[in-house]
Chain A
Amino acid sequence: MNFGEVTLGHYLALSLLLFLIGLAGVILRRSLLVVMMSLELLLNAANLALVAVGKFHGLPDPQVAVFFVITVAAAEVALGLAILVAIFRIKRTTAVDQMASLRF
């Protein structure tokens, strides 16, 4: 079987697609939990692009950046979930559209 050449463009296109799907999740889903999962998709799309470009140029530095992204993502998830839990205690819901207390 021949799947043809796989170019850098393929990886970038895949990354972009992943990003758009994550974006759709962030914008469309009501559950804050799923919104945060979609945020992870966004980060992973960026990671994929970074690694692909690093491979393309033969450089290790983008991989270091991805390493940091993963670390920061872990911290972000921990904090975000803590906030989510705190909000849930008050509101008894995870629906984003219920969280509009700061509106006029």
Chain B
Amino acid sequence: MRWVVRSIVRFASGTASNRKSSQRMEPFFFWVLAVGLVASAIGLVVFRNPVTCAVCLVVTLVMEAALFVTLEAFFLAVVQVIVYAGAVMVLFLFVIMLLDVKEEARQSLPWAKVIWVVGIGGGAVIGVPRIASVFPGAGQALHWGEGKGGTSAAELGRLLFSSYGPLFLATGVLLLVATIGVVVLCRKDPEA
């Protein structure tokens, strides 16, 4: 476990720059996080209780935030945790509590669903590696610690307020409209 802690510290401090990739910790993290991600996602789809599902979703989102870290997207990782795992999940939980949703009733085996599951699952097993490998440069290893692909919050902020300024403003308007929409939709008596 020592090398795990050490590598985390080294990883976080950004000093793991000139090691060979086979000796680095990123592959290890990737596989751990990937397995956890897939497992919690499957849990989301499988569990019957909405609260369990919500917890699974939180785990998924946090795992993904960690994957963002392995891709050196620190700012996004933080946003993912705060906005997604925080705000959005709280919304979900509020609604679950508000509606007092029961467990989904157990259904008789729906053949259509079985076919879909088999189809998607089979497709995934056969197709996913193949499809992923089609992508140009899919076989190349990712390079870490070269300082390329500015990922600092400062650089992102500069981009957001310069090149993507208009889009940023439009997003603000979108959020405002969504807020108004929610208020309108959730009024108790539309006539009043």
Binding site for B on A (CB under 8 A): 1-14, 16-18, 20-25, 27-31, 33-34, 36-38, 40-41, 44, 47-48, 51-52, 54-61, 63-64, 66-68, 70-79, 81-86, 88, 94-95
Query: Are the C-beta atoms of A52 and B71 separated by less than 8 Å?
Result: yes
Q: Could you tell me the distance between the alpha carbons of A11 and B135 in the complex, rounded to whole angstroms?
A: 11
Binding site for A on B (CB under 8 A): 21-22, 26-28, 30-31, 34, 37-38, 41-42, 44-45, 50, 53-54, 57, 60-61, 64, 67-68, 71-73, 75-76, 79-80, 83-84, 87-88, 91-92, 95-96, 98-99, 101, 104-105, 107, 113, 116-117, 120, 123-124, 128-129, 131-133, 135, 137-142, 146, 148-151, 155-156, 159-160, 164, 167, 171, 174-175, 177-179, 181-182, 185-186
Q: Could you tell me the distance between the alpha carbons of A95 and B156 in the complex, rounded to whole angstroms?
A: 41
Q: Could you tell me the distance between the alpha carbons of A58 and B95 in the complex, rounded to whole angstroms?
A: 40
Q: Could you tell me the distance between the alpha carbons of A1 and B152 in the complex, rounded to whole angstroms?
A: 31
Chain A minimum-CB-distance residue to B175: A75
25 contacts between A and B (CB under 8 A): A3-B28, A4-B22, A5-B22, A6-B27, A7-B138, A7-B141, A8-B139, A9-B129, A10-B34, A16-B132, A17-B124, A20-B120, A24-B117, A30-B107, A34-B50, A51-B76, A56-B137, A56-B140, A58-B149, A68-B167, A70-B80, A70-B83, A71-B174, A71-B175, A79-B182
Given A9-B138, A30-B105, A81-B91, 15 more A-B residue pairs with CB atoms under 8 Å apart are A2-B22, A6-B141, A6-B142, A8-B138, A12-B132, A13-B131, A16-B132, A18-B38, A24-B45, A28-B45, A31-B104, A55-B149, A74-B87, A78-B91, A84-B95
Q: Could you tell me the distance between the alpha carbons of A12 and B132 in the complex, rounded to whole angstroms?
A: 6
Chain A minimum-CB-distance residue to B188: A89
Query: Are the C-beta atoms of B99 and A85 separated by less than 8 Å?
Result: yes
Instruction: Decide if the interface of chain B is mainly helix, strand, loop or mixed.
Output: helix
Query: Are the C-beta atoms of A3 and B156 separated by less than 8 Å?
Result: no
Q: Give chain A residues whose Cβ lies under 8 Å from the Cβ of B92.
A: 33, 36-37, 77, 81
Chain A minimum-CB-distance residue to B148: A58
Chain B minimum-CB-distance residue to A81: B95
Are A14 and B37 CB-contacts (below 8 A) given A77-B91, A81-B92? yes
Query: Are the C-beta atoms of B155 and A78 separated by less than 8 Å?
Result: no
